[in-house]
Amino acid sequence: MGTDPLSLLYNILDRFALYGDFETAKPYGSGHINSTFMSRWNQAGTRVRYLHQRINESVFVHPDQVMDNIVRVTAHIAEKLTRSEVPGPSRRTLTVIPSKDGKPWVRDDEGGWWRTYLFIEGAHTLELAKSPEEARFLGATIGAFQKQLADLDGPRLHETIPDFHNMEMRYRRFSEAIAKDAHNRVKDVQAEIAFMRENEERGAALIRALRDGLIPERICHNDTKMNNILIDDGSSEGLCVTDLDTVMPGTSLFDMGDLIRTVTTRAEEDERDLSKVEFDLGFLEALMDGYVSAAAEFLTRSERDLLLESGRNITQIMGLRFLTDFLEGDHYYRIARPGHNLDRARNQIALINSMDSKWGEALDLVRDISSRYEKPEDSGSFVTYY
C-alpha cells in the first residue's frame, strides 16, 4: 500500500508558489476520482485557502496533458473576464497556482502528480436542484461556459480520456464484461442487460451524429453534473465550472445531456426507491431556457434538434457505465455498499423510462424554447437522428 496522500502533500507544499504561514491541511469534498485536500495559510493576518489534488493516473494516464488543457482553458476564460470588467473575476474561473519552477504541477516522492488551485470562498454546490430557478441558472452557467470557449484558438485540446462519451465503445466494453463475467454477477442483472441491449441503437445517436459531421465538434466540459458548478452564497448566481479534467473536444450536447440527467429529477443518483426517480418537465423547461438563452449565439440547428435526446443519451451511457463497472468488480466508481453501482445503473434506467413516458410533451416543450432564441438561418422543421 502506498503512502498516505496527506503525508505526500505535506512533503511537497513548499514546492508550490504559496506564500505566508502554513496552518493546516485536511481532506476535502467527496469526489469519486482524485484525492482532494484543502490547506489554510496566514498571509499577514489574512486567512487564505487552497485546494490540492492528486490526479488519479488510473483514470487520467497523461496528467501533463490534463494540466495543459486546464491551463489553456482557465487562462482564456480569465482573459475574457478581465476584458469584460466583470466583478470578482478570480471567483469566476479556477486559478491554477504554479510550482516555484513555473510548472502547473508538482511530482511527489512516489511520482504522483499534484495540482493546486486558489480556493473560491463564499460558494457552494448543489446535489439536487430545489427549484426551477436553480435549474435555470445551472443551464445558463454551462451555456456561458461553452460560449467562453467557443473561440479558443490554438491546437486542438488533448483528449484526456479518449472515447469518454463514445457509446459504441462503451457497448463493446459492456459486452466484454458480460462475456468474462469475472465476478459471477451476470446472472443477477439479466433485466438490466436486456434493457441496454434493446436501447443500443438509439444510444448511438449522438456519437454517430458527431462522427458523421452532422453536429460540430466543440470544446466542452464532458462531466457537467450539477455539483461541478459553483454557486455564490450571497446572490445564488452561478460562478464557475469546476473539475476541469475532462474538458476536451466533444459536442455541446454531452454537457447539456448531463445537466438534463442530473437536474430534471429530485432523486439522488444512487436512490434505491425507484418510485422517486421522476422526470420533471417543469425543471426541464427552466433548465433548457437558461441554457439556450446563453448558448443560442453559437448553437447550430442540428445541435438544437438533439437537445432533448442528449439527456436520454447521457443518462443511458451513465447507466451503462455503472452496470459495466458492477460487472467488472466496482473498480472505477467508488462504492459505499455492496451493489452500489448496480443501484446507480437501475436508477438511470428508471429515469430513462420516465423520460420516455413523457417524451412527446417534453419534445414540444424543448422545440418551443429553441424557437424563442432561433436565428433566422436556423428556422425549419426539426430532424430526428435515430
Second-level CATH architecture of 132-378:
Alpha-Beta Complex (3.90)
Q: Considering only residues 89 and 381, tell me which one the structure prediction assigns the higher pLDDT.
A: 89
Q: In this predicted model, what pLDDT tens digit does every residue of 323-346 receive, in sequence order?
A: 999 999 998 888 999 999 999 999
Tell me the average pLDDT across 45-74.
96
- 44: region left, alpha or beta (phi > 0 left; psi from -120 to 50 alpha): left
| Cα(112)–Cα(116) distance, integer angstroms | 13
One-letter amino acid for residue 157 of the chain = L
Task: Say what the pLDDT of residue 2 is.
Answer: 67
Q: In this predicted model, what pLDDT tens digit does every residue of 119-171 receive, in sequence order?
A: 999 999 988 889 999 999 999 999 999 999 999 999 999 999 999 999 999 99
Tell me the average pLDDT across 255-273.
96
The answer, as to whether pTM is greater than 0.85, is yes
* 88 within 8 A of 235, measured Cβ to Cβ: no
Confidence of residue 226 (pLDDT cuts 50, 70, 90): confident
Topology match between the domains 5-121 and 132-378: no
Determine which helix (DSSP H) or strand (DSSP E) holds 269, and give its type and residue range. none
Task: Say what the pLDDT of residue 128 is.
Answer: 86
Contacts of 173 (CB under 8 A, 6+ apart): 324
| Cα(86)–Cα(92) distance, integer angstroms | 9
One-letter amino acid for residue 98 of the chain = P
Task: Say what the pLDDT of residue 237 is.
Answer: 87
Tell me the average pLDDT across 2-22.
92
User: What residue ranges do the domains of the chain occupy?
Assistant: 5-121, 132-378
Contacts of 60 (CB under 8 A, 6+ apart): 66, 160, 161, 245
Domain 5-121: give its CATH superfamily: Phosphorylase Kinase; domain 1 (3.30.200.20)
